[in-house]
Structure 1
Amino acid sequence: MYKEISVPMKLFAALVVLWSLAGSAIAGPDEDAVRDLLHSTFDKPEAKLVIAPVVAKAGYAIADWTQGEMGGRALLHNKHGRWTIILCAGDGIRSAEALQRAGIAPDVAGELAQALAQAEQALPADRLAMFARFEGLLRMDEAGNHPPVHDRTH
């Protein structure tokens, strides 16, 4: 048996939910810059990137992406006001330990991993599964370009 919740409590609960969703959906300048970089680098006329979520902390960002039937995550770093892609991976960069191995300080790696986990909680399982399709870890060069790779989407 359950007790009926009053209308004011229902309204309050709805406002709390909406406020939390709005806060996670609002993109800041870092997230917008990351999306712009990824779109300008990897969009193709026949296959546009879908980039969401993007989380940014202390000059680093992780962007989840899909393109056609492929997906993955990109790790980026802001160097002197310019975002560059450090590496692309699948589930291999979700943990603080993996981010530390990529050269991120432990405290920032922990914050970034936690922010990503929180942002991904609301995603459907089939979208999360697409991010895991990227196998391995692909480091980028200093200009943020993939080394030569053949027959790979993204």
Structure 2
Amino acid sequence: MVGTVLYPKANQKACKSFEDVEISFRTKPGGMPIFDLADRGGDCYFTLKAWNVHNAGAAAILVADDRIEPLITMDTPEEENAQVDYLQNITIPSALINKALGDNIKKELSKGEMVNINLDWREALPHPDEWVEYEFWSLDK
């Protein structure tokens, strides 16, 4: 799946509905799918970010880590409010990307450059430890 990345000026952590800030990620006729770039953190979980972006019409969400660390596996929260109805209704791809890649994408977007990303899941095969591991490739100028 190939798409164009957008980093909105409002709701950058994607913790609230994009209707509240009048932003839509719906693909325009003849246009490429839109991938939202969101910041990690805020007062919400990864799954709520994905749900809000899903409802705004994005084709995928990329969540940029806010610290330099090895990437972790994002999962549903284990707290009591984790049994929310939207969890099983998220249908868009979602990925946590490292801080450096997130910063590079933001830098290019701030210069007015178009950033296209190719999400390729073909190499994501279960390993003997039952973890599914993904590789994320991008081009940098």
Same topology, TM > 0.5: no
Q: Which has the higher strand share?
A: 1
TM-score range, shorter-chain basis?
under 0.3
The TM-score with structure 1 as length reference comes to 0.26
- Which structure would you say has the larger Rg? 1
The TM-score with structure 2 as length reference comes to 0.28
